[in-house]
């Protein structure tokens, strides 16, 4: 009797996985390209009367006396702009999907993403790149909608499995997207005519891949994705989705403190994530292709940690695994911070040390993030799990607003990665202190 129910659920979860995976791959293709992309536009049109020229003048007034410092600052601002729009629009799209259905909103946001990447292909001027990031950030709420669809087709017992499908798709997307973008950047279209602000650019091939994935994703959802929210289950116009601003209303103090620790950790991690490609350019003169292999290595470390985390949780519990991950991260941040530019220039083991440090940060993240979600779930009553996990995800989204711009400003001001990574290590101290004070979940106390 159960087979007809299980099969559709597996099929829908498979479609959700594919939709989220393709979406994140397309979004993250640009990540290893940032320094070279920004350098291209600064050098090709960085004059008075252009957007990037005006931004460059402002950066010079702030002390940005080199092209490199400008690219660091502009990269942080673009990342923060995207994340801010995602933070604002994700609950809006989620609430609309509660009223209009998941499938309709997914098709709208995926069509918007395809349009943004299509514009990127023909972005001969920098202002068009900014428009693509604005549009893509506004459409980024599709992850929240996909998560809601996963919740629609799973009961409380299988809810964690549904959320894990989304989480794994996001993780793998961030592994393969930068890898594809870095490799694709070495291939360029023959430069065609430029009409006004429109024309091919050196990054049109990665943009074409992202656009193709978004278009394929749109077709996949439009043709095969079933509506998971029946009309009778849809909410009225006053439906409200959880956000980090609802944290004060959460009944469980343990959930509040766990969400705060997650916010602090992710501020440090996203700051590192945003500046890593600028650091590799400054220390090792990495190309986007070199960054592709670095992101693949980091992804492998994160996946390895997530596999190991299951075994560690059985022995230690989620709380101690999170503390272990944060201790490892603090050590790794210091390791990377202490790589001086002169050591990198001489090649005295700097690249190996860098890979060890970045690999440990990715490994620590693979331990921390799944355990944080599990801990919030264990601290929550069955009736509050969805809301509390939504608040936790919102905390991560807010961290992606704070982390990149903070790290970029530190890097810009000091002209070095040192304080970005020392700052990351210092942020681990309050996060560890908060997690140490958390109680053991009742289920784990019972086992003890």
Give the 3-state DSSP-derived string for 228-261, with helices as H, strands as E and coil as C: CCCHHHCCCCCCCCCCHHHHHHCCCHHHHHHHHH
What pLDDT is attached to residue 341? Answer: 64
Indicate the DSSP class of residue 227. Answer: P
The predicted model gives 325-337 an average pLDDT of 96
- Residue 3, pLDDT > 80, answer no
Lowest mean pLDDT among 31-45, 52-66, 68-82, 428-442: 52-66
Tokens (6 digits) for 186: 């070495």
Q: How far apart are CA 348 and CA 204, in angstroms?
A: 37
Lowest mean pLDDT among 93-102, 236-245, 290-299: 236-245
Q: How far apart are CA 119 and CA 106, in angstroms?
A: 20
- Residue 237, pLDDT > 60, answer no
- Which of 406, 405, 407, 399 lies closest to 77 in space, CA to CA? 405
Tell me the per-residue pLDDT of 76-86, one tens digit each, with 9 for 90 and over: 998 999 888 88
Q: Where are the domains positioned within the chain?
A: 1-241, 244-439
Cβ 289 vs Cβ 183: under 8 Å: yes
Tell me the per-residue pLDDT of 399-419, one tens digit each, with 9 for 90 and over: 999 999 999 999 998 888 999
C-alpha angle 112/114/116, rounded to 5°?
A: 70
| Ordered alpha helix ranges (H), 232-379 | 253-284, 288-316, 318-337, 341-346, 350-379
Tokens (6 digits) for 251: 């009944």
- What CATH number was assigned to the domain covering residues 244-439? 1.20.1250.20
Domain 1-241 classification at class level: mainly alpha
């Amino acid at each position: 009797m159960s087979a007809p129910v299980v099969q559709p659920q597996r099929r829908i979860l498979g479609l959700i996985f594919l939709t989220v995976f393709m979406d994140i791959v397309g979004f993250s293709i640009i990540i290893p390209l940032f320094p070279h992309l920004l350098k291209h536009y600064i050098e090709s049109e960085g004059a008075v009367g252009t957007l990037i020229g005006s931004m460059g003048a402002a950066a010079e007034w702030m002390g940005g006396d080199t092209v490199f410092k400008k690219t660091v600052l502009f990269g942080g601002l673009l990342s923060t702009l995207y994340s801010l729009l995602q933070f604002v629009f994700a609950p809006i799209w989620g609430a609309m999907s509660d009223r209009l259905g998941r499938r309709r909103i997914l098709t709208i946001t995926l069509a918007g993403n395809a349009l943004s990447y299509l514009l990127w292909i023909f972005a001969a001027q920098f202002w068009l790149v900014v428009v693509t990031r604005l549009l893509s950030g506004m459409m980024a709420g599709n992850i929240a909608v996909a998560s809601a669809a996963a919740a629609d087709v799973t009961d409380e017992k299988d809810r964690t499995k549904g959320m894990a499908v989304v989480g794994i798709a996001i993780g793998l997307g961030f592994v393969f997207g930068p890898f594809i973008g870095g490799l694709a950047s070495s291939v360029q279209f023959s430069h065609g005519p430029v009409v006004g602000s429109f024309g091919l650019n050196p990054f049109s091939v990665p943009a074409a891949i992202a656009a193709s994935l978004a278009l394929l994703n749109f077709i996949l959802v439009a043709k095969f994705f079933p509506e998971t929210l029946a009309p009778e289950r849809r909410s009225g116009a006053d439906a409200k989705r959880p956000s980090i601003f609802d944290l004060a209303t959460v009944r469980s103090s343990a959930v509040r403190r766990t969400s705060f620790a997650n916010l602090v950790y992710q501020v440090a991690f996203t700051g590192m994530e945003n500046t890593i490609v600028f650091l590799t350019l400054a220390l090792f003169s990495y190309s986007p292709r070199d960054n592709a292999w670095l992101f693949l290595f980091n992804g492998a470390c994160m996946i390895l940690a997530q596999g190991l985390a299951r075994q560690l949780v059985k022995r230690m519990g989620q709380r101690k695994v999170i503390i272990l991950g944060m201790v490892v991260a603090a050590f790794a941040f210091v390791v990377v911070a202490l790589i001086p530019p002169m050591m990198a220039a001489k090649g005295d083991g700097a690249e190996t040390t860098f890979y060890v440090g970045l690999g440990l940060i990715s490994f620590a993240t693979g331990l921390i993030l799944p355990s944080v979600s599990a801990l919030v779930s264990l601290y929550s009553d069955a009736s509050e799990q969805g809301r509390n996990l939504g608040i936790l995800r919102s905390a991560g989204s807010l961290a992606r607003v704070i982390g990149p711009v903070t790290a970029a400003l530190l890097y810009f001001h000091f002209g070095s990665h040192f304080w970005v990574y020392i700052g990351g290590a210092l942020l681990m101290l309050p996060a560890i202190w908060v997690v140490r004070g958390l109680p053991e979940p009742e289920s784990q106390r019972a086992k003890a």
